[in-house]
Amino acid sequence: MSHFARTNAALLDASIAENATRLRRGEITAEALTAAALDRAVAVQPVLNVFIEIWRESALAQARERDREAAAGRWRGPLHGIPVAHKDCFERAGHSITVGSKVIERTRGVHTATALARLDQAGAIDLGSLNMSEMVAGPTGQNPHFGDCRNSWDPARISGGSSSGSGAAVGAGAIFGSLGSDTGGSIRLPASVNGLFGMKPTYGRVSRAGCFPRAFSLDCVGPLARSANDCAVLLQAIAGVDPRDPSSLPAPVPDFVGRLASASEGSRVAVIDVDDEYHPEIAAAFERLVKLASERYGRVPSVAFDDLATCFAMADVLSKVEAATLHGEWMRERPQDYSQAVYSRTEPGLHIPAVRYVEALNVRARVLSAFLRGPMANADVLLCPTIPVLVPTRVEADTEIPGRVFGVVATLTSLTRPFNYLGVPVLSMPMGCDGNGMPMGVQLIGRPFGEARLLAMAHALSSSLGWRAPPSARLVSILKEQHA
């Protein structure tokens, strides 16, 4: 590897904060950093299929503008000059979105999604649109229209979904962070299987204006990144009330970055009992993580929550009915343009009785209250694995095989979907690697608007764990060898 290539690899493996310091000191330029990220994006694209479009010229133009601003003394903050990219369900003025589907008409956007506009204002550079599961529906990254998105550690395995490109692109070092949307685990699943930190914020914490929905009662927008610190930087930029989104909440936005070192001090931690049986390697890694948590925060008891299965079922009702409401006309007029997996999961929503849907809405507040008075009565953070099984291969999780989709979705989302129904914040972080060399994730579940505590705890636990993702340059080298 040449000195230039080694330098670029070092930059791409560095954190947002580290590169922000270099940019501010003038040790590197935004244009050079963006060019390195674009080169990596082009290198991994044939293997991972993470991008739908790469906007090379516009990204470099943005980078040059950031360099001019820096030279003039205008510094936008820690995202100034940092390359990112996002799931292709966020509207951007002048660009068309696909939502990973053949159904969506390719018309140029008029408005930019609020979350993207806030990242723009913070100085981030958008490299392009990222691949995703069709119609923000699917936990594997499989897409028969634009091609499957593949795992950044092993392209034979799933990348997670539906924010599949977000997870794989960050994991491969093509970008430093990404936004995804999460209806039943769509941020946390890609984070888990790509060895990342992914935050589903409190429902209403981040504006969804300009983000294509799956289920408006459940959807959340949040960041994926390689560290808790980088997640905090991204969340800091996008959080806050937005008049364009009536469901966004006017809660104060704390200093997520500034509180990383202190927000988890004195926290009470518990393990939430679930009926799922974990794979033995998942169970062993989780036990090690719990031991570290007990050493740092004191005794970690187990707590029961009998309504977990109810939360999953109620979230499934809301997701199916609200998705079917959106897709009904398209499904009637253009059923052939849907994959069988997405069609078969959405169409049943047309037949769920209205009373069942209203019931799911009506009992939600009561179930959340029971959750806060029950398992969280004496805990600030609950722990459970993100996925109960090892990262499956794309063949094992092929949802286009008739009769398989419901089992695959239920298995992969059994521990993530219930918390969308509750609306509480959840962060997935790495807790080690399995015998296949693949990452395993653990969820940190908090009280409403408790994101600062979760980020701080993930920051502390990952340090105690000694978590170090393999250098992205090594991953890219392996991927290239496998593709050759």
Q: How far apart are CA 201 and CA 192, in angstroms?
A: 16
Rounded alpha-carbon distances, angstroms, from residue 450 to 290, 445, 462: 20, 9, 18
DSSP 71-124: HTT----TTTT-EEEEETTB--BT----TT-SSS----BSS--HHHHHHHHTT-
Buried b vs exposed e over 37-48: b needs ≥16 C-beta within 10 Å? Answer: bbebbebbbebb
Structure token pair of residue 287: 């036990």
Structure token pair of residue 57: 């010229």
Phi first, then psi: give them for residue 90, nearest 5 degrees. Answer: -105, 125
Using DSSP's 3-state secondary structure scheme, residue 256 falls into coil
Cα three-residue angle 396-401-404, rounded to 5 degrees: 70
Q: Which residue reads 């979907």 in tokens?
A: 417
Question: Which residues make Cβ contacts (< 8 Å) with residue 34, sequence separation at least 6?
Answer: 59, 60, 62, 63, 81, 83, 125, 127
Phi first, then psi: give them for residue 117, nearest 5 degrees. Answer: -60, -35
353 closest CA partner among 324, 392, 391: 324
Residues forming beta bridges with residue 128, ordered by sequence position: 54
Q: Is the peptide bond before 162 cis (omega within 30 degrees of 0)?
A: yes
Question: Which residues are known to be catalytic?
Answer: 87, 162, 186
Q: How far apart are CA 85 and CA 436, in angstroms?
A: 29
Q: How far apart are CA 223 and CA 197, in angstroms?
A: 8
